[in-house]
Amino acid sequence: MNALKDYACVVSDVIDLTGDDKDDLQRAIALSLEESSRAFRETGITDEEQAITENKASLKRTHTEVWSDSPNPHDRKRMENCPVGLKNVGNTCWFSAVIQSLFNLLEFQRLVLHYSPPARVQDLPRNQKEHRNLPFMQELRNLFSLMVGSKRKYVDPSCAVEILKDAFKSSESQQDVSEFTHKLLDWLEDAFQMKAEEDREGEKPKNPMVELFYGRFLAVGVLEGKKFENTEMFGQYPLQVNGFKDLHECLEAAMIEGEIESLHSSHWFTELPPVLTFELSRFEFNQALGRPEKIHSKLEFPSMLYMDRYMDRNREITRIKREEIRRLKEHLTLLQQRLERYLSYGSGPKRFPLADVLQYAMEFTSSKPVCTSPVGDIDTSAPPAEQAPSSTPPEGLAPTPAPSTQQRVPIHKPFTQSRLPPDLPMHPAPRHITEEELRVLEGCLHRWRSEVENDSRDLQGSISRIHRTIELMYSDKSMMQVPYRLHAVLVHEGQANAGHYWAYIYDPHQRCWMKYNDISVTKSSWEELVRDSFGGYRNASAYCLMYINDKKPFLIEEEFDKETGQMLSGLDKLPPDLKAYVKEDNGLFDKEMEEWNTLQARKAQQEKLALAVAAAATAAVAETTATTTSPQPMSTETSTPDNSGEEKCIIFGACWARSILRGFIFYYCNMLPLPWVLQAMMTPNMQGIIMSIGKARTVFEKLGPEAAFFKAIKVEYTRLLRFAQEDTAPGSDYRLQHVIVYFIQNQAPKKILERTLLMQFADRNLGFNERCKSIMKVARAKLDLIKPEEINMEEYEMWHQEYRNFRETTIFLMIGLELFQKKSFVEALMYLIYSYQYNRELLVKGLYRGHDDELIGLYRRECLLKLNENAAGMFESGEEPEVSNGLSIMNELVVPCIPLLLVHDIEKDLLSVEDMRNRWCSYLGQEMEPNLQEKLTDFLPKLLDCSAEIKSFHDPPKLPTYSTLELVERYGRVMASLSRVPADGR
């Protein structure tokens, strides 16, 4: 709490908006606002801004939240010229990443939009119609048309996704994203093949999907002593990542298969597709653990890739260069080994740079032997008379005179007296060395050290030159004739069995990278792409690279009107049927916005009426208070005015007005809900502001509204600071009552506190009487002084988002504890699991960011133990429905939660897991029916497997909305009713 007091002193020095001298106050707030940092700019991302953005992103719980559309359609309206996002309709971020990458290939976009099904589709064989590719093509066309011309910020791909996902329902194994991508391209190829065969009867049809995405390579080699050459077609080209540092190394390894017994082969591209796609294999199966794992190692790739060295026509020159590179690498290895002997010298387990060893030896030889004093090394607790001087002084020092003629021989006392040899020097130095020896040795060491440093520099220079030679081996113009530019990078974040996908796609017209992350489409940069895609940073890395032939601009060129020459955009790009489809959807969206606007206008009218009623009631209360307050007698002693009566009267007046008006409001309940104005007046936030304005009444009457504003804001800040410094019970959490208390306890920047206070004093609910309205206008004027470039709104929103996360965590905890007390353990578990997870995310940033994690951990354990016990009881019953229900509880709830208890190595959590496992292992020695034995044998490995990855096995429950008063009251009641606290044990 001392830290909070120190922080409060610092902040109060800045937020001293509170004295009665209004000129000083104006200067204070102006000075503080000048120090505000600049807002986030879209034109560039600095390191500091990137850190703020990452912190903000980490606050938002996008990985587990149940997401829903904003009720306000204006929040879902597309900004002009902004690409359209895709809604994640349930673990479909992989679909969004793939589709956005293909959609932004404008040639592919045109092919899909202008596709028409075969005219004789009814005459096709039955198995082709059941292949689902034609229905999928129609849904894909609809989706692409919305992505072109929709007024919505993002659109729903559910119809296309469901058709694609249905193809895998019969499969028992989990399909990864690459298989979905292959299926997508297969269906597209089939659909265009049917159309091509119809359009070119009697001719060999050309399939545009094959023309775009498929190439050919020549396999050349020797098998059992016989030469062979085979031509093969390829689509997405797979590359291994493990063991390679960049894309060229991966390609070299893939093109040269090496020598496998009697097979010697290599691959050479004979024809490259316009769109060249590489699958980066970042997943491998761990045989020891029996599960797939992701490879997180770093792999670099260029924005411009030259494929000349892999072409069949360059086979001979490439072989020559590969041989030269091989020779250079062998020489490089020898040089690096030699350099390593200089940099890591010695025969023991510890090695040191040889130049440093020689330097240390030189320092030793030039050191002078400075000896210690005998008195300083003997136990000082002994009397001086018992200490004898050294009989022989160190070389170069005069003998130390004896303190007296009578000396006693010192007695050796083991473990209590430490006596070092009297002639031991303070620092290591040669004992006996002549000036000539010293001069010769120093000369040798100097010369040797110079030789070692020169040799090391020469080796490093040679190594650098070889590296440079290898890098430039393919830089001549003859090997830079097949350029491919990076078009899209598909990124995966997570582990092998779970994660999130997004895409970086280059926009050649704006000349910038765009990040497509489901509904969010934002400008990005090459630096951000590198950070997320190369690997080795967090758990994110590229799993697919899409390059396009830089000499074929038609792939990304916009379409132009043949008559006018104008570039086609929006609905003009669409064929008639899709144009009508998009217009219909846009009409529905326009209607939704109109209905919303009408509803908001009706609410505003109702609020205006309620505000007028509230103002009249408050004025009546104020008039009654003024007439009933008796004047205070004069006193000769000065005293501080007591305004507590005025505060109580204002609060009582608000309550009284609310009660009196309830009958009036009920009259209009069908057209007017309970006035939110009066409700707002009774929130802790509004109460404090009204009280602070009440205390500034005298200042208002004498000096006017501006001085009263500074007085009121000082009173309010002082009140909140007192709350922040108080030690309270868990049920009386002032952070829930006011966001400023949360900010103070967590040492938010002063600018955040200032703006938040100003926003609250600028609340339009204060406009119910002249005094409050005048102060509200002053607060709004202060806000208007803050220019957009003078305050970092990203940081401001980041803090408020964190506070919203804190409130959300509180609601999860509150509902979880309520359900636990009602013994609804199945429902309680989800709330307790998510409250614990979210609370730990908050506590990582500070002690006061969240709640007591031991308390939440206790009830999380208790809930799991109760569920485990109940499930075991069901299993013991032997009844088939009960047994199935018990094992279902274990498989769907308890087992997925066990990794959550093991991940942080908390002793009480580990003991709880052992208790649960022991409960089920106790059945192993018991006799039971064969069917129960079979089910137990099948279930126990799942329970005992500690290596399981942590998964988001359920989406968090959807939370109800609570007002501040409701949340504070209900949370306090729940915390007061708890029967156990962490001190009780596990």
Q: Does 139 lie in the same domain as 87?
A: yes
Q: Does pLDDT of 933 surpass 80?
A: yes
Q: Please write the tens of the pLDDT for every residue from 580-605.
A: 999 999 999 999 999 999 988 888 88
Q: Does 85 lie in the same domain as 143?
A: yes
Structure-token pair, residue 70: 């904003």
Q: Does 809 lie in the same domain as 689?
A: yes
In a domain, 933, yes or no: yes
In a domain, 656, yes or no: no
Q: Please write the tens of the pLDDT for every residue from 177-200.
A: 677 778 888 888 888 887 777 766
> What's residue 765's pLDDT?
72
Of 301-305, 557-561, 952-956, minimum mean pLDDT range: 952-956
Q: Does 248 lie in the same domain as 335?
A: no
Taking residues 686-703, report their average pLDDT.
Answer: 82
> What's residue 497's pLDDT?
65
Burial class (CB within 10 angstroms; exposed 0-12, middle 13-18, buried 19+) of 375: middle
In a domain, 954, yes or no: yes
> What's residue 844's pLDDT?
87
Is the model's pTM score more than 0.85?
no
Q: Nearest CA to 242 among 293, 172, 189, 308?
A: 293
26-40 b/e with 16+ CB inside 10 Å = b? eebbeebbeebbebb
Domain boundary among 481, 515, 549: 481
* CA 432 – CA 425 distance, rounded (Å): 12
> What's residue 966's pLDDT?
83
Taking residues 828-833, report their average pLDDT.
Answer: 90
In a domain, 402, yes or no: no
Range of the domain at 342: 312-369+430-481
Structure-token pair, residue 101: 């990458």
In a domain, 886, yes or no: yes
> What's residue 265's pLDDT?
79
Q: Does 440 lie in the same domain as 538?
A: no
Q: Does pLDDT of 378 surpass 70?
A: no
User: Which residue's structure tokens are 């000896």?
Assistant: 371
Give me the chain's average pLDDT, please. Answer: 77
Active centre residues (catalytic): 93, 492, 500
> What's residue 616's pLDDT?
62
Percent of the chain predicted with pLDDT > 70:
73
Q: Nearest CA to 901 among 955, 950, 839?
A: 950
Q: Please write the tens of the pLDDT for every residue from 2-53.
A: 555 555 555 554 454 444 444 444 444 444 334 333 333 333 334 434 444 4
* CA 534 – CA 244 distance, rounded (Å): 12
Q: Please write the tens of the pLDDT for every residue from 426-476.
A: 678 888 888 888 889 889 999 999 999 999 999 999 999 999 999 999 998
Q: Does 333 lie in the same domain as 262?
A: no
Q: Nearest CA to 966 among 811, 841, 826, 859?
A: 811
**Who's near 284: CB < 8 A, 6+ residues apart?**
242, 292, 293, 295
Q: Under a CB-based contact definition with an 8 Å cutoff, are residues 737 and 968 in contact?
A: yes
Q: Does 965 lie in the same domain as 870?
A: yes
In a domain, 505, yes or no: yes
Q: How many domains does the chain have?
A: 3
The DSSP secondary structure of 158-226, one letter per residue, reads HHHHHHHHHTTTT-SSPP-HHHHHHHHHHHHHHHHHHHHHHHTTTS----HHHHHH-EEEEEEEEETTE
What torsion do the CA atoms of 797, 96, 897, 823 make, to the nearest 10 degrees? Answer: 70
Q: Please write the tens of the pLDDT for every residue from 65-77.
A: 334 678 899 989 9
Q: Does pLDDT of 278 surpass 90?
A: yes
Q: Does 790 lie in the same domain as 885?
A: yes
In a domain, 599, yes or no: yes
Tell how far CA 638 is from the center of its chain: 59
* CA 387 – CA 400 distance, rounded (Å): 13
**Residue 967 banded pLDDT, cuts 50, 70, 90:** confident
Q: Does pLDDT of 747 surpass 80?
A: yes
Q: Does pLDDT of 89 surpass 60?
A: yes
Q: Nearest CA to 42 among 526, 524, 530?
A: 524
Residue 621 backbone dihedrals phi, psi, to 5 degrees = -65, -45
Domain boundary among 607, 638, 670: 607
> What's residue 586's pLDDT?
94
Q: Does 477 lie in the same domain as 587?
A: no
- Cβ count within 10 A of residue 164: 19
Higher pLDDT, 11 or 334: 334
> What's residue 708's pLDDT?
87
Q: Does 467 lie in the same domain as 335?
A: yes
Q: Does 852 lie in the same domain as 909?
A: yes
Structure-token pair, residue 962: 């609570």
Q: Does 326 lie in the same domain as 298?
A: no
Cα angle 861, 865, 866; round to 5: 120
* CA 276 – CA 212 distance, rounded (Å): 9
Tell how far CA 228 is from the center of its chain: 52
In a domain, 379, yes or no: no
Which range of 191-200, 588-597, 845-854, 887-896 scores highest in mean pLDDT? It is: 588-597
User: Which residue's structure tokens are 């400008």?
Assistant: 523
Q: Give the CATH number, domain containing residue 154.
A: 3.90.70.10
Report the sign of the C-alpha dihedral through residues 99, 104, 105, 111, in that order: positive
* CA 736 – CA 700 distance, rounded (Å): 31
